Amino acid sequence: MNQVDYLRISLIDRCNFRCQYCMPEGAELNYILKQQLLTDEELLTLIQEVFIPVGFSRFRLTGGEPLLRPHVVELVGAIASLPQTQDLSMTTNGFLLAPIAQKLYDAGLRRINISLDSLEADTFDLIIGNRGRGRWQQVWDGIQAAHRVGFDPLKLNVVVIPGVNDHEVLNLAALTLDRNWHVRFIEFMPIGNEQLFGDRGWVTSAQLRQQIRDRWGLTDSQVRGAGPADVFQIPGAKGTLGFISQMSECFCDRCNRMRLSADGWLRPCLLNEAGQIDLKTALRSGVSTAQLREQVKHLLDIKPEINFKGRDPGTVGTYTRTMSQIGG
């Protein structure tokens, strides 16, 4: 079991896209009210007085769409400035990124993951919910801005959906040939989208790797991340290819993270809510941060037994929350 030192922090559950795999059509979305969100002050208190003292040193800001969070640049700066923060990153859809990429970098953000599920504008619109033309270009502009500013590594996340964007795998992989970008292919998961998943199933990472291997060859990469991706490289390419195989290859024993929801629930596992702690209510009720530290320590101790392991690869479960509500 890896040391659990990585906390994914959902800043907001809302998003300006409605992607098929994240907020499927027909899903009931009960958004968190503003007053139910952790305030900036509460979040920083939890980071400084609870999470850092029990061993967390790496933080990823997620959503929904984290760039919708008011004062996000200032919040990034506050977390980045903590001496115990060893790594601070963000996952975004990139739509609002271009105008503030430099500000985020100057505030201390150095790593960023941007969702890019298609290089085709029409397919992109289909995946994100057909919410207006020009969205692909605005996301692409955000990616280019992040590249110019100097985010390194710059990672592009691709959820591969059969019959939708799986024909683009080689074109997306080719982005790594002459750019130091890291393209990560993520297996399609049944979270809040069981009907869509049941109709389509998923493409395994092994199948994707074989497509790329047949075209260019594929070698193990010397670049290693701290997350669940298995990293490869096209021979001679500047960037890398990562494969996150949560459906076909269980990696629960390598899990080194917990998740803090936008309304303050600390959850030890993406797919298992056992042991979750309502830190916001406790904090607002006057529970001391020392007591909260003890609760989090206990959750860390039992996390190996909570991790959603032991299922057969490809087993489809039923989850009450959508991916956007979980925080990815």
The rounded distance, in Å, linking the Cα atoms of 239 and 146 is 15
DSSP 312: P
Residue 1 marked as a ligand binder:
no
Go through 93-126 and write b for each residue having 16 or more CB atoms within 10 A of its CB, e for each that does not.
Answer: bbbbbbebbeebbebbbebbbbbbbbbeeebbbb
Is 297 annotated to bind a ligand? Reply is no
Q: Is 23 annotated as a binding residue?
A: no
Residue written as token pair 């803090």? 260
Asked if 125 and 135 count as a contact pair (C-beta separation under 8 A), the reply is: yes
Q: Which helix (H) or strand (E) holds 323?
A: helix 323-326
Is 269 annotated as contributing to ligand binding?
yes
User: 15: annotated binding-site residue?
Assistant: yes
Q: Tell whether 131 is in a known binding site.
A: no
Show Cβ contacts of residue 13 under 8 Å, excluding neighbours closer than 6 positions. 31, 32, 63, 64, 261, 262, 263, 324, 325, 327
Consult the annotation and say whether 250 binds a ligand.
no
Residue 218 to residue 241: CA distance in whole angstroms: 9
Q: Tell me if 135 is assigned to a ligand binding site.
A: no
31 among annotated binding-site residues: no
Instruction: Retrieve residue 31's tokens.
Output: 């958004």
Residue 90 labeled ligand binder: no
Residue 259 annotated as lining a ligand binding site: yes
Question: Does residue 281 contact residue 215 with C-beta atoms inside 8 Å?
Answer: no
SS3 assignment, position 106: helix
- On whether 258 is known to bind a ligand per the annotation, the reply is yes
Find out whether 21 is annotated in a ligand binding site.
Answer: yes
Three-class SS state of 289: helix
Rounded Cα–Cα distance for residues 106 and 299 (Å): 35
Q: Which residues are annotated as a binding site?
A: 8, 15, 19, 21-22, 60, 64, 91, 115, 155, 189, 252, 255, 257-259, 269
Q: Which residues are annotated as a binding site for GTP?
A: 8, 60, 91, 155, 257-259
Q: Which residues are annotated as a binding site for [4Fe-4S] cluster?
A: 15, 19, 22, 252, 255, 269
Q: Which residues are annotated as a binding site for S-adenosyl-L-methionine?
A: 21, 64, 115, 189
